[in-house]
Amino acid sequence: MSGVDGKIVAITGASSGIGEAAARELARRGAAVVLGARRTDRLDALAESIRADGGRAEALDVDVTRRDDLDRLVARSVERFGRLDVLVANAGIARIAPVGDLDVDDWDAMIDVNLRGVLHGIAAALPVFREQGRGHLVTTVSTSGLKIVPGQAVYAGTKNAVRTALEALRQESTDGVLRTTSISPGFVRTELVDHVTDPEQRAQVQRTMSELGIAPEAVARAIAFAIEQPDDVEIGDLTIRPTTQG
C-alpha cells in the first residue's frame, strides 16, 4: 500500500502545533486519524472540524506518560477502523535551562513525555504491526539533537535517545514489516516553548520562533511524505528547518 489515502493513523500530541497540522493534512489526503492529547476540548474541536470537512477522525484523552493511554489509543484505532497503519509519536515538551540549575522536576517531565511516551507508543503499536504484517512508526525529534547548544542538554538528550532507539529498532526489523521515521524539525511556530520557566528566556525563544520559525504545516507535509512511500521504501531520517536557521 502506498499513498496516504485510506491509511489509519494515530497521532499523539494532536491538539496543537505539529500534531494538529499533521492531523488536518493527513485527513485531507484521505487518512482516518485517531487523535490523542490531554487537552480534550481542543482535541474534540479538531476532530469535529475534520469530520465537518468530510474526513474521518476519532479523539480520546491521552497522556503519553501513562502506558495504558497508549494501549487505548491503539485499541481505539483497531476497534473503529479495523487496523492501525501508522503511529505518529509527536507529543513533546521543552524546558530550557543550564544543567547546573538542577531543575530535576523538569528533567523528569521531559524524560517522561519525550522518551518514555514514545516507548509507550512503541510497546502499544508494535504487537499490532507484527500481527498485521505491516506498520510504520513516525517520531518527532528535533534539530536540537543535531546541534548541541547550552541550555538544552536534557531536552536534546531525550530527543537523541528516541533517535537512537528508533535506529536500533530499524536494524532489528529488517523483515519488511516495520518502517521507522524520525522527523527533526528546526524552529517551528508552535506552543512548544510557551512553558519555559524563566520569563525572560521564554520571551526570547518565543521571539525567535515567531521571527524565524516555519509553519507547522511544513512539518505535516514532511510527515505525509514519509508515510506515502511504498511499503518497501523507508524514509529513516528527515530534517526540516527554516532556510534562515543557523
Please provide the average confidence, as pLDDT, over all residues in the chain. 93
In this predicted model, what pLDDT tens digit does every residue of 148-192 receive, in sequence order? 999 999 999 999 999 999 999 999 999 999 999 999 999 898 766
Is pTM beyond 0.95? Reply is no
In this predicted model, what pLDDT tens digit does every residue of 46-56 receive, in sequence order? 999 999 999 99
What percentage of the chain has pLDDT greater than the value 70? 91
Predicted pLDDT of residue 244: 86
Longest Cα pair distance anywhere in the chain, in angstroms? 51
Nearest CA to 223 out of 15, 31, 1 is that of 31
Boundaries of every domain in the chain: 8-240
Residue range 8-240, CATH number: 3.40.50.720
Among residues 15, 155, 159, 193, the one annotated as catalytic is 155
Predicted pLDDT of residue 219: 97
The position carrying cell 535551562 is 97
212 is catalytic: no
What percentage of the chain has pLDDT greater than the value 90? 83
Q: Please give the average pLDDT of every successive group of 10 residues along the chain, which has 246 residues.
A: 88 96 98 97 97 97 98 98 98 93 96 98 98 97 91 95 97 95 91 63 66 90 97 95 86
